[in-house]
Amino acid sequence: MGSLSEDTVRIVHELGGLQCRCGRLKEKGLTFCRRCYFLLPRPLQKALCKLLADGYVEAYAAAVKYIDEERPTMECDDERDDRQPGDEDTRG
C-alpha cells in the first residue's frame, strides 16, 4: 500500500474535525459546514460523495476553490452557522 499524499492526509484530518475550513462548526465526517456546503453548485455537492480513491480529493480541491472565490459575497442568515466547536447547543 502506498503512502498518502499530504493533501489526502489533511483532508482526512479535516473530515474528522468539528471545524470547517471557514472557521464555523461542522459535523464530524462532513467536508464543510452547512453554509459552505450549500454555497456549492449541485454537481460539486454530488462529487463530494465520492470515496477518497475515486475522486474525492479532486472534488474537495474544486469545492475549496469555488468557496474561496465566492466567500466575499456570502451572507449567512442562519445563526447556527456561527457556533464554534465547544459552544453549547441551545437549539430546542
- Give the model confidence (pLDDT) of 16-66 as tens digits: 899 998 899 999 999 999 999 999 999 999 999 988 778 888 999 999 999
DSSP string, 49-76: TS-GGGTHHHHHHHHHHHHHHHGGG---
**Which are the contacts of 26, defined by CB distance < 8 A and separation ≥ 6?**
17, 18, 19, 20, 32, 33, 34
Q: Is the Cβ–Cβ distance between 33 and 26 less than 8 Å?
A: yes
DSSP state for residue 48 in the 8-state scheme = T
pTM: 0.67
